Amino acid sequence: MNIHVLSLFPEMFNGVFGSSILKKAQEKQAVSLSVTDFRAYSGNKHHQVDDYPYGGGAGMLLKAEPLFRAVEALTTTSTKPRIILMCPQGERFTQAKAEELAQEEELIFLCGHYEGYDERVREHLVTDEISIGDFVLTGGELGAMTVIDSVVRLLPGVLGNGESPVQDSFSTGLLEHPQYTRPAEFRGMKVPSVLLSGNHAHIDQWRRQQSLYRTWSRRPELLLNTELTPTEQKLIAQWEKETNI
């Protein structure tokens, strides 16, 4: 996969792209990451990429020309890349969206600053608008880093254990079950005995129930899109009854 980022502050990505899983993914040649300062495509000697909005108003808007030129310069193959605008008004980012983007060959992220973008960027350039939450950041860089990390870890061979992304929270529609490691007892706190039993059928059942309970207690809205067995439905009904007592 090739991932390109257009940013006014490319130096922000040095530490993130040069560390941890993203660094290993590049070393394994699972992904190519690049960052371009789109001031280079401003077309004027002052490298101006923003201007006042027509009709008045506070702040400055990113101009259409430099972003169009930068994307066109990066799009050198016949395959049309997904062009992603990081924006508070965009679609809320989810694990399902990460899995969708991980199937692409090429992604281009646009990271804005100031008051926003010329609307022609939204209407005629980008394919996706993504938000990482209902809040506003100084720019799109931190959001792009978040999305890129979430996508790259799903690429084949990036994580050491191929099952890891499958078992993550949200990948199954539920929050992940509790996990423990050695020692089996620490300061009087013990690992659940079922995990020490060696009975994998019982362990899987326990993990599913714990995942279900954690989701019900913390993010119950996720259960609306989860297929539950009759036994699991009875469990949830019992938890709700106990809560209301």
pLDDT at 50 over 70: yes
pLDDT at 162 over 60: yes
136 is in an annotated binding site: yes
CB distance 153 to 124 below 8 Å: no
Mean pLDDT of all residues in 171-188: 92
- Let me know if 209 is exposed, middle or buried by CB neighbors in 10 A (0-12, 13-18, 19+): middle
Positions marked active-site: 88, 115, 153, 168
Clarify whether residues 206 and 145 are in a common domain: no
Let me know if residue 52 belongs to a domain: yes
| % of the chain beyond a pLDDT of 70 | 95
Clarify whether residues 108 and 41 are in a common domain: yes
Clarify whether residues 142 and 55 are in a common domain: yes
Q: What is the pTM of this model?
A: 0.88
Clarify whether residues 41 and 113 are in a common domain: yes
pLDDT at 167 over 60: no
Let me know if residue 163 belongs to a domain: no
- pLDDT value for 237: 96
Given pLDDT bands bounded at 50, 70 and 90, which one contains residue 241?
Answer: very high
Q: Which domain holds residue 223?
A: 185-244
Q: Specify the number of domains making up the chain.
A: 2
133 is in an annotated binding site: yes
132 is in an annotated binding site: yes
pLDDT at 53 over 70: yes
197-236 residue pLDDT tens:
999 999 999 999 999 999 999 999 999 989 999 999 999 9
Clarify whether residues 88 and 15 are in a common domain: yes
Look up residue 80 and give its two tokens. Answer: 């049309």
What mean pLDDT, rounded, does the chain reach?
Answer: 93
183 preceded by a cis bond (ω within 30 of 0): yes
129-140 residue pLDDT tens:
999 999 999 999
CB distance 215 to 222 below 8 Å: yes
Clarify whether residues 190 and 146 are in a common domain: no
Clarify whether residues 92 and 209 are in a common domain: no
CB distance 208 to 228 below 8 Å: no
**Which parts of 111-227 fold into alpha helices (H)?**
119-124, 141-152, 164-167, 200-218
Q: Residue 238 sits in a domain of what CATH number?
A: 1.10.1270.20
The C-alpha atoms of residue 109 and residue 111 are separated, in whole angstroms, by 6
**Amino acid type, 90:** G
Residues with Cβ within 8 Å of 114's Cβ and at least 6 positions away in sequence, in order, are 50, 59, 60, 61, 62
Q: Residue 56 sits in a domain of what CATH number?
A: 3.40.1280.10
- pLDDT value for 164: 60
228 is in an annotated binding site: no
Clarify whether residues 61 and 16 are in a common domain: yes
CA angle, residues 176, 182, 188, in degrees to nearest 5: 95
- pLDDT value for 244: 87
Q: Are strands 116-117 and 128-131 parallel, antiparallel or unpaired?
A: unpaired
112 is in an annotated binding site: yes
- pLDDT value for 168: 62
Clarify whether residues 138 and 215 are in a common domain: no
pLDDT at 121 over 90: yes
16 is in an annotated binding site: no
Clarify whether residues 106 and 32 are in a common domain: yes
